[in-house]
């Protein structure tokens, strides 16, 4: 009990310090000159004019849809030269360009191209919007097409690194479920969106940390709990609530593989609670700071917004029922390509389980899979992982899960990943019993 309290206290301290450091970086970003940022966004006009706020680069596939409205809201914050107040006030209030009658992308482009005109200002303080740090830094030197291409290079390099690390750590037998989950997330869409990347990068980097420093973290008292609290805090600070669950579910499954799938249920529960705690605490710190040191009562605003999101009768929530919001997200993957992908992944997972269970290096897994308690622990644990996206979709209400299904659905990749893990465990257990 005492150890748990110490770990809990350490997590709160680490998350609080990390959030204050990130806040200082955000304030510093608002001290950077905005003129070159404005020019580089203006130079991006051919791309912006050719697209529209909710572009689908592959028609009929929602996972290929970009959230241009959110993206250019944040780009508008990044290039805003006319926001009032100090750097601190700008970082807290997040003033963006909001021109009546124009979509957000067109509004921001017009602001970038015509600096002498007057433009309306609105605020978006509810999130930290830490990704603005990177938007500002990138726009100092690059236009949006450059940023997208650089983003793609880095993300694919990180993916290649993860695959190499999985092989080095003897986790190559899990490559099929892992790559399937990444394809469900849709890496092409992530590379094209800075907003989506704000959650994709923490996911990738968390996995790399697990695979490189996992042994050291495992030796620390409460190491993995603190680790996931930090991941939750980083996600909360940088993300725009697109699909935050991927920074929990996918790294968590990689951790279970890294630990040899031992104490699966306990690890899933503790890690999820600490991730959620880190995420919530970071968000609450923003509300408190903004309420205390600005004229905006963000605590009241946040409570009102959450109430609205949970109100199924609210017109903005389309009056959708609980089943409606789940089906809206599930139907995104009711397409030939994703059905074929998952079917192929199941078949390959079964084949790989038969192949690797015969190797000497995998005898520990075969024995564990044959134990009733180990088998039950893994099935329950992975079952809980599969519930993570549904818990988020339910908990955040219709305003998020139904209205924003075009980005929220991406968290269902976690359920697909967990399902493939259960298939692997069941095949190994069945094979073990037959061999006996």
Residue 425 covered by a domain: no
Report pLDDT digits (tens) over 262-320: 899 999 999 999 999 999 999 999 999 999 998 888 787 777 766 666 565 555 556 67
Residue 364 covered by a domain: no
Residues of the chain with pLDDT under 50: 363-364, 366-369
The pLDDT of residue 322: 77
The pLDDT of residue 317: 56
Q: What is the pTM of this model?
A: 0.92
Residue 173 covered by a domain: no
The pLDDT of residue 430: 72
Residue 352 covered by a domain: no
The pLDDT of residue 313: 58
Residue 132 covered by a domain: yes
The pLDDT of residue 120: 83
The pLDDT of residue 397: 74
Residue 133 covered by a domain: yes
Residue 207 covered by a domain: no
The pLDDT of residue 366: 47
Residue 89 covered by a domain: yes
Q: Which domain holds residue 53?
A: 27-139
Give the chain's domain count. 1
The label of the residue with tokens 């304030």 reads 27
The pLDDT of residue 42: 95
């Amino acid at each position: 009990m005492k150890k748990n309290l110490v770990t809990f206290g350490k997590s709160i301290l680490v998350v609080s310090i990390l959030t204050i450091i990130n806040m200082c970086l955000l304030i510093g970003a608002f001290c950077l000159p905005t003129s070159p940022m404005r020019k580089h966004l203006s130079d991006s006009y051919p791309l912006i004019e050719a697209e529209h706020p909710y572009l689908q680069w592959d028609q009929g596939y929602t996972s290929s849809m970009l959230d241009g409205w959110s993206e250019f809201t944040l780009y508008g914050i990044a290039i805003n030269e006319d926001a009032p107040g100090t750097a601190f006030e700008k970082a807290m209030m997040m003033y963006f360009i909001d021109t009546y009658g124009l979509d957000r992308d067109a509004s921001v482009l017009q602001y970038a191209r015509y600096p002498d005109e007057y433009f309306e200002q609105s605020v978006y303080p509810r999130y930290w919007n830490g990704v603005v740090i990177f938007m500002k830094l990138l726009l100092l030197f690059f236009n949006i097409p450059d940023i997208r291409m650089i983003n793609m290079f880095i993300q694919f390099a990180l993916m290649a690194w993860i695959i190499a690390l999985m092989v080095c750590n003897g986790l190559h037998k899990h490559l099929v479920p892992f790559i399937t989950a990444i394809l469900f997330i849709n890496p092409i869409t992530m590379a094209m969106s800075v907003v989506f990347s704000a959650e994709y990068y923490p996911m990738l980097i968390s996995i790399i940390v697990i695979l490189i420093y996992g042994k050291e973290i495992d030796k620390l008292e409460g190491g993995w709990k603190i680790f996931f609290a930090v991941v939750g805090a980083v996600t909360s600070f940088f993300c725009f609530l697109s699909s935050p669950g991927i920074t929990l579910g996918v790294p968590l499954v990689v951790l279970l593989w890294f630990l040899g799938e031992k104490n699966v249920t306990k690890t899933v529960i503790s890690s999820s609670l600490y991730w959620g705690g880190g995420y919530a605490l970071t968000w609450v710190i923003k509300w408190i700071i903004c309420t205390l040191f600005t004229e905006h009562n963000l605590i009241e605003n946040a409570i009102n917004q959450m109430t609205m999101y949970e109100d199924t009768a609210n017109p903005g929530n389309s009056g959708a029922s609980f089943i409606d919001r789940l089906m809206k997200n599930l139907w995104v993957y009711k397409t030939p390509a994703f059905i074929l992908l998952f079917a192929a992944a199941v078949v390959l997972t079964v084949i790989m389980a038969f192949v690797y269970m015969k190797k000497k290096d995998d005898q520990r897994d075969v024995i564990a899979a044959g134990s009733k308690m180990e088998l039950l622990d893994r099935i329950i644990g992975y079952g809980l992982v599969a519930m993570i996206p549904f818990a988020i979709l339910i908990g955040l209400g219709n305003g998020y899960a139904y209205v924003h299904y075009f980005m929220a659905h991406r968290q269902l990749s976690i359920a697909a990943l967990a399902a493939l893990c259960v298939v692997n465990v069941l095949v190994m257990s069945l094979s073990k019993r037959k061999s006996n």
